[in-house]
Structure 1
Amino acid sequence: IEGGWPGANPTDSEFFEKAPKTRAQMTAFGMTKRAGRSAENDEVLAQVMQANTGAVCLVGKASAFHVSDALGITKA
């Protein structure tokens, strides 16, 4: 069960705080670390990792367009 993105908004955060006990696998949804930050210093990623779920689904941008336009990352 994908429960949303902890830390993204109060509703999603509350869901993970009060997630029902079930035999289904709860999953926190989020994104990979943001450009210009280490994973250790990305509070958005930290919220996902601290959601207290048995599974996490991370979405990452991979196409050249998304990397340059959506993420604002340029070639070195």
Structure 2
Amino acid sequence: MNARLNDVLVHINETLDDEALYRLEEGIRHDAGVISVGHRPEKTHMIMVVYDTDATRASSLLHRFQERGLHAQVVGL
């Protein structure tokens, strides 16, 4: 694999319980170009996504959060 990796920190406004957060992360993991996704237990509003820059862009990842009905913003690249 010759991927060019980058990461983005996404802030979601909604408060999700553990099950909803798990489902969100599982869904994001299956999005094109996503390598890894996760959060720290004490910061459930902040989701880190590692992705292949040849396969997707940060703006596309953000759009995927919004398609899932969430209010989200990119806060770090």
**Normalization by structure 2: what TM-score?**
0.26
More strand by share: 2
**Normalization by structure 1: what TM-score?**
0.27
Greater length-normalized contact order (CA 8 Å, ≥ 6 residues apart): 2
More helix by share: 1
